[in-house]
Amino acid sequence: MGVDSVHTEISDIRETLDVNFIGSFALTKALIPLIAKNGGRIANITVPSEISPYWHPLAYVASKAAQNAMMGVMAIENSVEIFSVHPGPTTTDLNGNMALPGFHDIDTVGRKFAELINDGQNHQGEFIELYPIVKED
């Protein structure tokens, strides 16, 4: 599962924030004029800020929470359509190819994401879960 939060290196948190938050902010900020000019939309791939009992590395979760807040604020302030999408539990190298109940493969998630972004609906400011996390009783 990785390092517990108390043993997380500050450098790991900074590096992850640089990629998932600062990087997303810089790219989104730079592209908004072009996207507005061409009638595009921004679909941010993220995870819920709610902590998962299965996989919860502090640096990653904190960076995605910051990214979610950023996208929410940008959706309020911009006419460009901005929304966030959580693919749901997906089996990838990032989580050690975890395949628990409710997990989907990348191809399945990709198809559902393509359907969403091409559905012709306005999702301004929404947080959409393609496959919600299965909660065990």
**In this predicted model, what pLDDT tens digit does every residue of 5-41 receive, in sequence order?**
888 899 999 999 999 999 999 999 999 999 999 999 9
Query: Crossing angle for the helix pair 58-77 and 24-37, nearest 10 degrees?
Result: 30
Total residue count of the chain as it appears in this document: 137
Residue type, 71: M
**pLDDT band for position 134 (cuts 50, 70, 90):** low
Q: CA-CA distance, 60 to 3, in Å (whole number)?
A: 12
DSSP three-state, residue 65: helix
Which one-letter DSSP state was computed for residue 99? -
pLDDT at 49: 80
Closest alpha carbon to 132 in 109, 98, 107, 115: 109
Q: Are 71 and 46 in contact (CB under 8 A)?
A: yes
Residue 49: CA count within 13 A, CB half-sphere: 12
Q: What confidence category does residue 58 fall into, taking pLDDT thresholds of 50, 70 and 90?
A: confident
pTM summary value: 0.82
Band of residue 1 on the pLDDT scale cut at 50, 70, 90: very low
